[in-house]
Copies of this chain bind each other. A is one copy, B any other.
């Protein structure tokens, strides 16, 4: 079952990125140099002089939305760094119920596996660009550059901490508390609007946000309405919310 890779290849957004019009030498050493996620994720652990190692080890992929990247249980033969866009990571129960364990954005690394199989499915929610690196290439990179292993440990630790926060959210909090916590967490990671008020961008469908927070979409909708009536938020468009009263959300979370 190598469905995921086949799917990725099939879903590469046309046109499949023509060769850059610069010199041929640029194509390998320069690809990573100009990468927007260059300073994030694993790559941030390397200096400019190490860029050739990185460029030869990885390959960028442009993906349409709703494209699976890794599938839970499949042979984990590669990791992916998100360069742009957003992916959802989720686990599925035998009867089809799904729990989204996280959303990945630029700089996040997906596909790190403990055993041989991926622990979750990852699928784009918007058109995205990811950078593929085979597991063996990652291992080589770690051996040659110990800082990469350190970075990997730091990133995994941050993810573990986030997962424990999510356990607290799912185990203890009410619907209003969950949504408030979620909006606050997102707002801390996004730029405020031109007028300075914080806002959050929600490109994923409401059913996915619900699946992340352990709520049905109907409940999410009702909670958002309640927060709006209370004056804590304003729904600008379907996928953007302005935080009117961060303190109120903080109190509700």
Interface residues of A (CB under 8 A from B): 91, 93, 97-99, 101, 112, 114, 119-120, 146, 149-150, 152-154, 156-161, 163-168, 170-173, 211, 214
Contact = CB atoms under 8 A, between A and B. Distances in A.
Given A119-B161, A152-B153, 16 more contacts: A93-B172, A97-B172, A98-B172, A99-B167, A101-B167, A114-B157, A114-B158, A146-B146, A146-B149, A149-B150, A156-B156, A159-B160, A163-B163, A163-B164, A163-B166, A171-B214
List the number of copies, as a whole number: 2
B156 A99 contact: no
B170 A214 contact: yes
Nearest to A143: B146
Nearest to A214: B171
Contact of A99 (B98, B152, B171, B211): B171
A150 B150 CA distance: 9
Nearest to A163: B163
Contacts of A112: 157
Contact of A91 (B97, B154, B164): B164
Contacts of A153: 149, 152-153, 156
Contacts of A170: 167, 170-171, 214
